Amino acid sequence: MKTFLAIALAAGSAFGATIPRPAPELAIHMTDGSQTLLSTYKGKVVLLAFVFTTCPHCQNVTGILNNLQPEYAPKGVQILESCFNEGAQNLTADFQKTYVRGFPVGFNEKMTVLEFLQHSAMEPYYVPIIVYVDRKGMIRSQYIGDEKYLANPEQSIRASLDALLKEGPGSRAPAHRKAPNATTSSLHD
């Protein structure tokens, strides 16, 4: 298990994005008209999930996150979710009422999300997409929906959160490197 976790955190991306890297500011638009800024949570471990409101896999992961937020919040974890499918601005409120409890969920435009992820708009991707940001505001890993990492999402998410929490507030992120590319075929909805 520890070896799997070390490999998962080291691999950290299917996108070819630089990992680790400083997390750029991200403003998640909330359904009440306000914005939630990612930088607000610096000093906490952040799990940021990018989802489609209509995706059954995203709905399943959201259910898992509902259960994890109250358990991990006292340890210094904040879960955030951003819907970015077509029409998300109009669909997020119903998604939130139906699927989300205990953490902020809002919406973003697709291009904003892809730029945040360092993912080309010309390349396919699957959802959900999970991003981990450490206490210092560094993106430490990101996982696309078709990766083996999400085959057992609760186990994988717990392992990643536990590993980042064990690092403590003074830990340093590993040196920058280019994460490997994985093959993906099409957008999952």
Residue 1: per-residue pLDDT: 37
Angle between helices 153-166 and 56-72 (to 10 degrees): 40
Residue 174 lies in a domain: no
Each residue's pLDDT tens digit, 123-133: 999 999 999 99
Residue 19 lies in a domain: yes
Q: For residue 47, give the CATH number of its domain.
A: 3.40.30.10
The 10 Å CB-count burial string (b at 16+, else e) for 96-119 is beebbeebbbbbbeeebbbebbbb
Residue 37 lies in a domain: yes
The residue segments making up the domain with residue 129 are 2-167
Q: What is the chain's length?
A: 189
> Judging by DSSP bridges, how do beta strands 21-22 and 138-143 pair with one another?
antiparallel
Residue 157 lies in a domain: yes
Residue 131 lies in a domain: yes
Residue 21 lies in a domain: yes
Query: Which H or E element spans position 129?
Result: strand 129-133
Residue 178 lies in a domain: no
Residue 171: per-residue pLDDT: 58
Residue 112 lies in a domain: yes
**4-13, 36-45, 106-115, 155-164 — which is least confidently predicted?**
4-13
| Mean pLDDT for all residues in the chain | 86
Separation of alpha carbons 29 and 123, rounded Å? 25
Would you state the structure tokens that stand for residue 68, as one six-digit string? 């994890």
Distances (CA, A) of 140 to 11, 36, 55, 161: 10, 21, 25, 11
- Prediction pTM value: 0.84
Each residue's pLDDT tens digit, 79-128: 999 999 999 999 999 999 999 999 999 999 999 999 999 999 999 999 99
Q: What is the domain count for the chain?
A: 1
